[in-house]
A and B are shown apart, each in its own frame.
Chain A
Amino acid sequence: MIPATADPARSDQGSAPPPSGAPGKGQGRAASGHRAWFLVLPALIPILLLSVGPLLYGIALAFTDSQAGRTEPTQWIGLLNFQDLLRDTLFWESFRIGLVWAVAVSVPQFLLALGLALLLHQELRFRWLSRALAIVPWAMPEVVVGIMWRLVYHPDAGVLNETLGTHRDWLGSLSTALPAVVVVGIWARLPQVTVTLLAGLSNVPRELHEAAAMDGAGAWRRFRAVTWPAIRPIALAISALSFIWNVNSFALVYVLTGGGPGGRTRLPMLFAYEEAFRYGQFGYAAAMGCVLVAVVSILLAVHLVARLKGDEDA
């Protein structure tokens, strides 16, 4: 539910809005003045105070032994938290689960969404129904999504066991909990990715398609040669975003399993939340947050570099 990674300053020429005389570059520089600052201030102050400030504060916390409780003063402890983290097998296990979760959700989600978008792009009947359905999970509170799937997975009263004729405790047993949660993760954001890709598909130049068809290209070749290049930027953007969202997801798993059974679904976010707000280890939790940020940033950087390369090759 957040903007894509593009840069509006760059995108204004070709970007969404108007068919008007687009503003020329560089005009802005002359006009900016004191008034601009006056207009910007109401938004800038909260951003600095409640976003940038806490962020820096959070990073600083990672180097302290800040804990809940008022009996002991907080002290700088240097890298001790990070040293502890290195040896904390539970955290790395949680980290591994987090990566498995993010990949296992993002990849199938993307492929399924691409398939659905291509289908919805066709002139099929019931398309309206699919489109309507596609909105619902997007608009639902994550908590409700979690509750709904708990009802589906319920060992006695759940529809899944009834339909399959099994008697499994899907969310409660060590082997099925993570896969069960992954399915919910895919379901929850499938619509968002689909609709985004669908919007991308509408940009596919139809002349190219027709030309390719004239040349006798098959469906797969047309997809490779025409459709995919056209939607590639948006596909990369949305897949990067959905990966980040999944790394950061919390509410779904909190409601579904609370991290159980035996920590099999304890995503890093859940781990850090518990560390901070159940056990009161604020400094240690902040250190976890920092590690997460670092890893996500590295992955994103790799993604962006790959994207740049791809563009050059093209």
Chain B
Amino acid sequence: MRSRITVRRSRPRPRPGAVPRPSPSTTPAAVPRGPAARRRAARTGQYLALLGYLVFLAFPLLWLVSTAFKPPRELASLHPGWLPDHPTLDNFRQAFDEQPLLRSAGNSLIASLAAAVITVVIATPMAYVMARHHRSSLSRAATGWIVVSQAFPFVLVIIPLFLVLKEVRLIDSLGGLIMVYVVWSLPFALWMLAGYARAVPRELEEAAAVDGAGRLRVLISVTMPLLTPGIVATALFAFITAWNEFFFALVLLKSPRKQTMPIILTHFIGTEGVADLGPLAAASLLATLPSLVLFALIQRRITSGTLAGAVKH
């Protein structure tokens, strides 16, 4: 079933974490052909298309930022301008006044950190086993579960989970939410970590073992250091996933003082959908910053991690 491309490949494949970087000669348009005028026309077309994409991707973002800095008078104007004429930070102050933003950020932070740490702590050993014993029935079952868990709508899981957590009084508690987050990010964490664990050369471990180091020692002093970058990337990803998560938090957290940031954001939209636009935009910006920064750090790893399997399939 492996596609023929894999067989034919002659180039060394990219390192893990390397983002594909086109070399000029790879690209079709760079191959000399036809008259120069036609090439220039093609180039222009390409730039126009790129511009179109840029506008489509950027204009909502720009509008969000602009709204966050607009004073009330400009927000109420019948002809809103693209940029605030008199930028102000009032919306941010007001956002903190209107909703318990700080506390919700704290809740989000606790839930995301705990979920991230617990996820990698319990996933790393299993991923290691999956990588080293990938033929065992356990690994097969785990892989099957990872695939299947993608196709399941989470309503089907959340209803029973809700009833179970209710029985053990973990509704409206960050503890319950963290448990759900851990299970929810496990498939991806296992997937990524198993990929990284496979990358640790078995020879290194064997050499250490020959030198007389015990199995556990080998794991700690040889394998772990090599795995660390992968573990960090996985943890960060689990953190972002939890930070952004909405559905489970909506169902499980009910009292305002326990709710996470995405839920509090929806509280800015009041009855009849009337929203205080300025503070809403300001709070939304603040909520996005952490995941944006972290994501920028690990985006390359995520791409390669996600694709580890699919690309070479």
Contacts and interface: CB of A to CB of B under 8 A. Distances in A.
* Direct contact between A and B judged by beta carbons closer than 8 A: yes
Given A5-B147, A55-B156, A122-B29, A282 B292 contact: no
A32 interface: yes
Interface string A193-230: 00110111111111101100100100100110001011
B280 A8 contact: no
B126 interface: yes
A247 interface: yes
Contacts of A82: none
Given A151-B64, A300-B151, A209 B31 contact: yes
B46 interface: yes
Interface residues of B, number: 148
A158 B78 CA distance: 9
Nearest to B123: A43
Nearest to A258: B273
B91 interface: no
Contacts of A149: 60
B160 A206 contact: no
Nearest to A17: B199
A169 to B, nearest CB: 10
A234 B312 CA distance: 8
Contacts of B60: 148-149, 151-152, 187
Interface stretch (A22-30, A83-91, A173-181): A22-30
B1 interface: yes
A16 B199 contact: yes
A164 interface: no
A119 B63 contact: no
B5 to A, nearest CB: 5
Nearest to B302: A1
Nearest to B138: A40
A160 B79 CA distance: 11
| Contact count band on A | 35 or more
B154 to A, nearest CB: 7
Contacts of B162: 276-277
B135 A198 contact: no
A162 B309 contact: no
Contacts of A219: 28-29, 42
Contacts of A40: 125-126, 129, 138
B160 A42 contact: no
Nearest to A151: B67
A248 interface: yes
A135 B149 CA distance: 25
Given A43-B126, A187-B56, A2 B265 contact: no
A121 interface: yes
Nearest to B286: A144
A278 to B, nearest CB: 11
B155 A285 contact: yes
B140 to A, nearest CB: 7
Contacts of B50: 119, 124, 126-127, 130
Given A17-B16, A277-B251, A135 B299 contact: yes
B155 A29 contact: no
A72 to B, nearest CB: 15
Which of B14, B133, B309: most chain A Cβ within 10 A?
B309
A8 B150 contact: no
Contacts of A263: none
Contacts of B149: 51
B183 A47 contact: yes
Contact of B156 (A52, A207, A290): A290
B132 to A, nearest CB: 6
A61 B299 CA distance: 40
A18 B240 CA distance: 27
Contacts of A78: none
Given A5-B147, A157-B277, A46 B183 contact: yes
Given A15-B309, A116-B53, A157-B277, A57 B143 contact: no
A227 B5 CA distance: 11
Nearest to B61: A136
Contacts of B24: 123
A50 B180 contact: yes
Given A9-B140, A122-B22, A272 B164 contact: no
A250 B80 CA distance: 30
A58 to B, nearest CB: 4
A126 B160 CA distance: 49
B213 interface: no
Nearest to A202: B20
Contacts of B29: 122, 219
13 contacts: A3-B309, A4-B306, A11-B308, A15-B195, A16-B199, A18-B16, A55-B160, A121-B26, A122-B30, A136-B57, A140-B291, A199-B304, A209-B28
Interface of A: 1-12, 14-21, 23, 25-29, 31-32, 35-36, 39-40, 42-44, 46-47, 50-55, 57-59, 61, 66, 112, 115-116, 119, 121-127, 129-130, 133-144, 147-152, 154, 156-159, 162, 187, 190-191, 195-196, 198-207, 209-210, 213, 216, 219, 222-223, 227, 229-230, 232-234, 237-238, 241, 244, 247-248, 250-251, 254-255, 268-269, 272-273, 276-277, 282, 285-286, 288-290, 292-293, 296-297, 300, 308, 311, 314
Given A5-B150, A5-B310, A147-B281, 6 more contacts: A4-B306, A18-B198, A40-B126, A126-B54, A144-B64, A213-B33
A-B pairs, top 8 by smallest CB distance, nearest first, are A202-B20, A17-B199, A289-B156, A6-B309, A4-B310, A139-B295, A28-B133, A16-B308
